[in-house]
Structure 1
Amino acid sequence: MKKILITGSNGLLGQKLVELLLKQPHVQCIATARGANRLPFTEGYAYYSMDITDREQVNDVMAQVKPDVVVHGAAMTNVDQCEFEKENCWAQNVKAVEYIVEACQQHNIFLCHVSTDFIFDGTSGPYTEEGEANPLSFYGWSKYAAEKVVEHSKLRWAIARTVLVYGIAYDMSRSNIILWVKKSLEEKKNIKVVTDQWRTPTLAEDLAMGCFLIADQEAEGVFNISGKDLLTPYEMAIMTAEYFGLDKSLIAQADSTTFTQPAKRPARTGFVLDKSQTILGYAPHTFTEGIAILAGQLQ
C-alpha cells in the first residue's frame, strides 16, 4: 500500500484528490486541512487537522502518519488578497513549505508541490517547464519562492504547475468563470470579459489526476499540469454560453485595463504539456469536455 497525504483537503483540488485516491485500491489516503473535516466522503481515508503554518503540527502529523508521498496543495491563492496581506501570504505559501520540506526530509517522504503559472510575467506564453520565472504579483513571488525551497531541498521532489483551475466542490464558497457566466446570463445580466489575457484553464479533476500520476510514479522534476486549450476569458465565456444555450449578446469584450485589480496579472501564460503527457501519461480534457463534466455535477 502506498500512503499519500494531502494538504488542503477541504479545498477544490483537495476534494478531487481524495475522491480520486479513494478509487485506487493500492493507495491509503490521508487527508489534512486546517480545522474540521469538510469532505463529503465519510469513509475510506483518515483525516488529521493540520495547520501548515504551525511547524509543530506539521512535524507531529508527519511523524505519526509517515506517508510515502505528500501532495501539497494547500495555499493562499486569492491573488489580490495576497497583495494586501503579504505576511499572511508568506506564512502560508513559503514558511509552510519550509516546514513541510523539513518534515519530509526527516521521514524520507516524496513531495509533490503544487505551483502556478503566476510565477511567469506572461510575455512569452505558453510556457514549457524551462520557462523563465518573473512574477508580477506578490502571490506569484510567494509561489516562486516556495518552488525554490523545494528545489534546494535534499528531497526527492516534484513541482506540479497549473493554470486557472475550475470545478465544483462540495460546500465551496468560491465561484469560477463557468458558473459566473452561466449565472449572469441566466439572470439576463450584461457582463464584460477580457480578450487580452490567455490561459490554459484546468479542470480540477485533471489537476488531481496529474498530481496522482506524479505521486504514484514518484516522478521527479517540474511538470506542467493544465488544460490543453489556450483561450481568453472572453472565449471561455462564449463557449460556456454556447454549451448552456444562453444569450451570447450579453457578453461584451473588454481589455484588462477596464478592471482595476490590486495585483498585476500576466497577459499570456498557458502551458506546453508535452513533458507531462510523455512521462506521466497525463491526458487532460478539452475545455468543452470540462464544461460538460462540471454541468453534470450541477444536477
Structure 2
Amino acid sequence: MAFEFEKELKVEKTNIPGLLVFDLPVHGDNRGWFKENWQRAKMMGLGLPDFGPVQNNISYNATKGVTRGIHAEPWDKYISIAAGEIFGAWVDLRPGESFGQVFTTRLDPSRAIYVPRGVGNSFQALQDGTVYTYLVNAHWSLEQKKTYTFVNLADPELNIQWPIPLEESERSEADLHHPMLKDAKPMSPKRTMVFGCKGKLGRAIRRYADEHQLQDFEYHDTDTFDIADSHAYEGIDWDLYGTIINAAAYTAVDTAETPEGRKAAWQTNVKGVGNLARVCTEHRITLIHISSDYVFDGSQELHKEEEEFAPLGVYGQTKAAGDALVENVPQHYLLRSSWVIGEGRNFVTRMIGLANNGEHAEAPSDQFGRLTFTEDMAGAIFHLLDTGAAFGTYNMTGSGRIVSWYDIASIVFAAVGADGSNLVANSVAEYAREHHAALRPRNCSLDLSKLEAAGYHPKDWEESLATYLTKELDK
C-alpha cells in the first residue's frame, strides 16, 4: 500500500475557512486494512462541526485521469477514499473575503476532508478503480440543485496544478463550459423564515433586513403560515433554510385567562413553538425565539437568564413552556424581553391618545422595568447571528433607569404638554381586581450583562423613547 498505516487521528486547518483535512488511523495486516472513516465524537473533539449527515454517496472512477468539478453545493460534505487516490482542488465560492481562495491536496484511504457548504469541490482520479465516498447533510432535490454554483477547472486565475493535464483527462461536457472565477456566482446563503411578520417586532425585523439588503428572507403571519398547524410544515424543503425567527406569539395577557383565550395561548405559544423546535432540530436550523419577563413571578429585582420559571398567569405559563421546548434545540437564541414598544398600538401610543384628548389615564406605580424598542431588539437578533455568539438565552431590553409604568406615562404626558392631574397612579393588584385581569409580575427588570458581554449594548430606553415620541407627535 502506498499510504501510511497507524497514523494518529489529527486535523489540519487550511487557508479556506472551515475546510478541514483529517489524517485517519488505518490498521492493516496481510489480510487488508481497517479504519474508522468517520467518528463523530473524536472528530468533533478536533473541531469537526456536528454536521448531521443524512446521505452517503459513492463515486466509482474506472480509469486514471477522470476529473470532476468544480461544483459548490448547498450542503456540507465529508469526503474520504475507499480505494485508490485522488488529487483534490477546493475553491471558496461563498461571498466574502475568502471568495476565490484555492486549496489542493492528495487524498488516499488514510486522509479525509470536510468541505463546508459553498466551497467548490473537484478531484482527479490518480489510479484506476478509485472509489470516492462522501457524507452530506441534506437530501438532494430539484430546489437544492437550483442553488449550485460552479467555476471552470481550467481557470488560469485559480492556477490549479493538475497532475494529469486537463486536455488528457476525462471530463464531462458540462464541466468544460463552467464560468471562470470572475463570472462565477457566489453561493447564496441559506434562507431565513420569519414568523409574526405583521407584529411590532416582525415589522422591525423586516425593516432591518431591507435596510441592510439581506437576501433570501421569507415572511409569514398566521394568514399564510399558522405555526400551530402541523400540516403547514409539510411539503417544504427545510434543508434550504438556515434560520427561523419566531416573532409570533399570543400576547393577550388578560384574555389568556378566559377559556377560549387559554386554548389559543397554548396553541400558539406551546404547540406552535414545539413544531418549530422539532423542525429546527431535525434540519439543524438556528431558531431565534422571543420570550417574556412574564415567565417569572417578579419577586427578584433583576432577573437573570438562569432564574427558574415561576409564572403568575396563563400567558406566562405558555411562554415558559415554549421556552423549555426551545432550550432543547441545539442551535437556538432565546431573547427574553419586556415592555415592548414599536410600530402599532402600544402603551405609549395609548397614553399619547389619552393625553391629547384630555382624558383620565391610569398606570401602575408598583410595577418596574425598562422599555424595549423593536428596532433595538432586531439589532440584537442580527448581532447574535452575525457574530456567531454562543447559543442560549439572552435578556434584551433597553438599558438605563428602572422605572414604573406610571413614570413612563408621566414622561409621555409631559412631552405632549398635557395636564398631569389627569394621570393617576394605581397598583398591579388594584388593576387586576377592578378589571378581572391577570396577575402581573411587579419586577420586570432584566439583567443585560450576558448580552453586553456578547458585544451588544442596548440603547438607553429614555433616548429611544424621546426619538419615538418625536416621530409619533409629528404625525
What TM-score range do you get, normalising by the shorter chain?
Answer: 0.7 to 0.9
* CA distance in 2: counterparts of 1:66 and 1:245, whole angstroms: 53
Letter in 2 for 1:247: D
Task: Return the match for 1:145 from 321, 342, 364.
Answer: 321
State the TM-score, normalized to the length of structure 1.
0.87
Contact 1:79 1:263 in 2 (8 A): yes
Shift of 1:130: 2.0
Deviations 1:90-132 (A, max 9, x none): 1110011111111112221011111000000001122121222
Unaligned runs of 5+ in 2: 1-188
Contact 2:190 2:240 in 1 (8 A): no
* CA distance in 2: counterparts of 1:281 and 1:64, whole angstroms: 30
Contact 1:9 1:18 in 2 (8 A): yes
* CA distance in 2: counterparts of 1:211 and 1:59, whole angstroms: 27
Letter in 2 for 1:75: A
Deviations 1:11-32 (A, max 9, x none): 1110110110112235432111
* CA distance in 1: counterparts of 2:241 and 2:429, whole angstroms: 46
SS in 1 for 2:406: helix
For the pair 1:25 / 2:25, whether they are aligned, the reply is no
For the pair 1:200 / 2:370, whether they are aligned, the reply is yes
* CA distance in 2: counterparts of 1:146 and 1:56, whole angstroms: 20
SS in 2 for 1:127: coil
* CA distance in 1: counterparts of 2:387 and 2:190, whole angstroms: 11
SS in 1 for 2:368: coil
Shift of 1:288: 4.0
Task: Return the match for 1:267 from 424, 427, 442.
Answer: 442
Task: Return the match for 1:9 from 197, 204, 218.
Answer: 197
SS in 2 for 1:4: strand
Shift of 1:291: 3.7
* CA distance in 1: counterparts of 2:363 and 2:314, whole angstroms: 24
Relative to structure 1, the CA distance from residue 249 to residue 2 in structure 2 (aligned partners, 3 Å threshold; closer, same or farther) is farther
Deviations 1:216-269 (A, max 9, x none): 334311101111231101000111122232222221222223323431100112
Q: Which moved more, 1:68-77 or 1:51-60?
A: 51-60
Letter in 2 for 1:72: N
Match of 1:222 in 2: 393
Shift of 1:275: 1.2
Relative to structure 1, the CA distance from residue 198 to residue 69 in structure 2 (aligned partners, 3 Å threshold; closer, same or farther) is same
State the TM-score, normalized to the length of structure 2.
0.56
Relative to structure 1, the CA distance from residue 276 to residue 133 in structure 2 (aligned partners, 3 Å threshold; closer, same or farther) is same
Shift of 1:56: 2.0
Task: Return the match for 1:70 from 232, 244, 257.
Answer: 244
More strand as a share of residues? 2
Contact 1:112 1:215 in 2 (8 A): no
For the pair 1:117 / 2:293, whether they are aligned, the reply is yes
SS in 1 for 2:291: strand
Shift of 1:77: 0.6
More helix as a share of residues? 1
Deviations 1:170-195 (A, max 9, x none): xxxxx222111111111111222211
* CA distance in 2: counterparts of 1:186 and 1:250, whole angstroms: 11
| Superposition RMSD in Å | 1.9
Contact 1:115 1:143 in 2 (8 A): yes
Contact 2:201 2:374 in 1 (8 A): yes
Contact 1:196 1:255 in 2 (8 A): yes
Match of 1:188 in 2: 358
For the pair 1:91 / 2:305, whether they are aligned, the reply is no
- Taking the TM superposition and a 5 Å limit, the aligned residue runs for 1:49-68 are 49-61=224-236, 63=237, 66-68=240-242
Contact 2:429 2:439 in 1 (8 A): no
Deviations 1:42-86 (A, max 9, x none): xxxxxxx2111111213444x267221111110101111111122
Letter in 2 for 1:277: E
Contact 1:5 1:31 in 2 (8 A): yes
* CA distance in 2: counterparts of 1:25 and 1:252, whole angstroms: 46
Shift of 1:294: 4.6
Relative to structure 1, the CA distance from residue 2 to residue 291 in structure 2 (aligned partners, 3 Å threshold; closer, same or farther) is farther
Q: Which moved more, 1:215-224 or 1:78-87?
A: 215-224
SS in 2 for 1:71: strand
Contact 1:166 1:202 in 2 (8 A): yes
Match of 1:237 in 2: 409
For the pair 1:126 / 2:302, whether they are aligned, the reply is yes
Contact 2:356 2:416 in 1 (8 A): no
Structure whose CA Rg is larger: 2
Letter in 2 for 1:248: G
* CA distance in 1: counterparts of 2:233 and 2:373, whole angstroms: 29
SS in 2 for 1:143: helix
* CA distance in 2: counterparts of 1:233 and 1:185, whole angstroms: 15
Contact 2:246 2:289 in 1 (8 A): yes
Relative to structure 1, the CA distance from residue 26 to residue 19 in structure 2 (aligned partners, 3 Å threshold; closer, same or farther) is closer
Shift of 1:9: 0.5
Deviations 1:114-171 (A, max 9, x none): 1000000001122121222200011111111111111123x211110000101224xx
Task: Return the match for 1:80 from 240, 244, 254.
Answer: 254
